[in-house]
């Protein structure tokens, strides 16, 4: 079974507030192959990461105690599959081309591929892919303890080639939106690992829930800009939802000029109001724009990892080469940038 990573074009820290986001499934993926075994064990090894795990198939292993850490995802998925009465003994072989710790959802690609592989082995189908997304998220929360939203899993499960997908995180409706052929979507990894991402993520999420509770609404989706004008955290979420819808409208209208300013406004809001950026991400955004990107912003949870940029297609490689060279000269950190392609959702390996 294969599951793609994702890059989020716009709509950051909105998914767990019942808001909107616009990710695309990318041409970096995790593949999990399985072979049956009969002794009630699940073993797993990885082509990229060291170590092996051997766990009871009944989901009885606490993920927190599993070493190597990537094995916690196997334990998390087993817990969820055991609850769905679909766990059985298998040998799992994991291979991934999604760069880890980059904000491109290597974890969700792994948990979706594991969930599909274990379900396949256990004879369980997910007629509604939203249930597969929920199962993979539950597995990931078991593995990491980070209370993530559903964006990454839904993107892996509903991605469409050449399209971004608009997700309404309240209704879980997913609408494919064609990407322009004139512009490339670029990922540039800052080279800074996302060390604070887990703890700060949980804090931000709790802060959003507190504002919603104070205002007497279910989530920040139900608030207006004037209600949250004095609260930077909530202000980001409400403004970001509006930016996602404006971005989708600009894509539909073929109005590329409107896209860049929305990306930059999103980054500024994540930096100044939501406070999940770091100087390296700010510098990368600045350099990409100086070298010709129409816009750029941090993508994923923040505190390191990648920025996403849109660049005129014929200029994309040049822009990335110049921006990354200058970034390295100024910070001493080696970044890596590449053009991404929007691909289809998770499924059996071809
Ligand atoms: C992480 C989470 C997502 C989402 C983003 C921020 O990637 O896994 O659910 O909340 O951060 O937009």
Using one digit for the tens of pLDDT, what is the confidence trace for 174-226? 999 999 999 999 999 999 988 766 789 999 999 999 999 999 999 999 999 99
Question: Count of residues for the chain?
Answer: 350
pLDDT at 219: 98
Centre of ligand 1 to C-alpha 230, Å, is: 24
Distance from Cα 236 to the centre of ligand 1, integer Å: 15
Name all domains of the chain by residue range, CATH numbers in brackets: 2-168 (3.30.230.10), 181-340 (3.30.70.890)
Predicted confidence at residue 86, as pLDDT, reads 78
Ligand 1 atom closest to residue 201's alpha carbon, by position in its atom list:
11
* Residue percentage of the chain with pLDDT more than 70: 99
User: 227 pLDDT exceeds 80?
Assistant: yes
What is the reported pLDDT for 196?
A: 64
Q: What is the DSSP string of 104-141?
A: S-HHHHHHHHHHHHHHHHTT---SSHHHHHHHHHHHHH
Long-range pairs of 195-202 with CB within 8 A, sequence gap ≥ 24: 195/303, 195/304, 196/303, 196/304, 197/146, 197/300, 197/301, 197/302, 197/303, 197/304, 197/305, 198/144, 198/145, 198/146, 200/276, 200/301, 200/302, 200/303, 201/146, 201/147, 201/148, 201/301, 202/146, 202/147
CB 219 within 8 A of CB 207: no
Ligand 1 centre distance from Cα of residue 126 (Å): 23
How far apart, in whole angstroms, are the C-alpha atoms of residue 153 and residue 132? 8
Q: What is the pLDDT of residue 214?
A: 97
Distance, in Å, from the CA atom of 141 to the CA atom of 148, rounded to the nearest integer, reads 7
Using most ligand atoms within 8 A of CB, pick from 152, 194, 237, 270 the residue to mutate for ligand 1: 152
> What confidence tens digit (pLDDT) does each residue in 4-33 have?
999 999 999 999 999 999 999 999 999 999
Q: Which residues line ligand 1 (CB under 6 A)?
A: 12-13, 15-16, 148-149, 151-152, 300-301
* Residue 63: predicted pLDDT: 96
Active-site choice (58, 62, 120, 152) = 152
3-state secondary structure of 327: helix
**What pLDDT score does 84 carry?**
85
Q: What is the mean pLDDT of the chain?
A: 96
Confidence of residue 85 (pLDDT cuts 50, 70, 90): confident
Residue from 6, 12, 4 nearest 247 by CA = 12
Rg of the chain over Cα atoms, rounded to whole angstroms, equals: 20
pLDDT in tens, 136-175: 999 999 999 999 999 999 999 999 999 999 999 999 999 9
Active site residue 152: yes
Peptide bond before residue 44 is cis, with ω within 30 degrees of 0: no
Q: Which atom of ligand 1 is nearest to the CA of 14?
A: 12
Ligand 1, atom 3, residue with closest C-alpha:
149
Percent of the chain with pLDDT over 90: 94
Determine the distance separating the centroid of ligand 1 and the alpha carbon of 49, expressed in angstroms.
23
**Residue 308 pLDDT:** 98
What tens digit of pLDDT does each residue of 255-271 get? Answer: 999 999 999 999 999 99
pTM of the full structure: 0.97
Q: What is the DSSP string of 144-188?
A: H-----SHHHHHHHH--TTEEEEEETTTTEEEEEEPPSSEEEEEE
């Amino acid at each position: 079974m294969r599951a793609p990573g994702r890059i989020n074009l716009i709509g950051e820290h909105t998914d767990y507030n019942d808001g909107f986001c616009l990710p695309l499934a990318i041409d970096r993926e995790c593949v999990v192959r399985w072979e049956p075994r009969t002794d009630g064990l699940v073993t797993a090894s990885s082509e990229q990461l060291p170590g092996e795990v051997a766990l009871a198939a009944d989901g009885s292993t606490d993920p927190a105690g599993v070493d190597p850490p990537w094995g916690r995802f196997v334990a998390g998925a087993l817990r969820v599959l055991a609850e769905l009465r679909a766990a059985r003994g298998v040998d799992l072989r994991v291979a991934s081309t999604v760069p880890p710790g980059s904000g491109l959802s290597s974890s969700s690609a792994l948990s979706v591929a594991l969930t599909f592989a274990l379900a396949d082995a256990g004879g369980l189908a997910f007629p509604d892919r939203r249930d597969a997304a929920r199962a993979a998220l539950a597995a990931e929360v078991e593995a990491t303890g980070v209370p993530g939203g559903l964006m990454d899993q839904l993107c892996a499960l509903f991605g469409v080639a050449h399209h971004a997908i608009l997700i309404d995180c309240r209704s879980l409706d997913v609408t494919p939106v064609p990407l322009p052929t004139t512009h490339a979507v670029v990922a540039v990894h800052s080279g800074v690992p996302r060390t604070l991402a887990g703890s700060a993520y949980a804090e931000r999420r709790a802060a959003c829930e507190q504002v919603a509770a104070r205002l007497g609404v279910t989530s920040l989706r139900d608030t207006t800009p004037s209600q949250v004008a004095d609260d930077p955290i909530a202000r980001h979420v409400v403004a970001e939802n509006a930016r996602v819808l404006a971005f989708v409208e600009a894509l539909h209208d073929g109005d590329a000029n409107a896209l860049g300013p929305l990306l930059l406004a999103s980054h500024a809001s994540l930096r100044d109001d939501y406070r999940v950026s770091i100087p390296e991400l700010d510098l990368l955004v600045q350099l990409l724009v100086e070298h010709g990107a129409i816009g750029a912003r941090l993508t994923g949870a923040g505190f390191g990892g990648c920025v996403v940029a849109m660049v005129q297609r014929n200029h994309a490689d040049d822009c990335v080469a110049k921006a990354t060279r200058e970034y390295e000269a100024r910070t001493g950190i080696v970044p890596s940038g590449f053009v991404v392609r929007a691909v289809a959702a998770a499924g059996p390996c071809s």
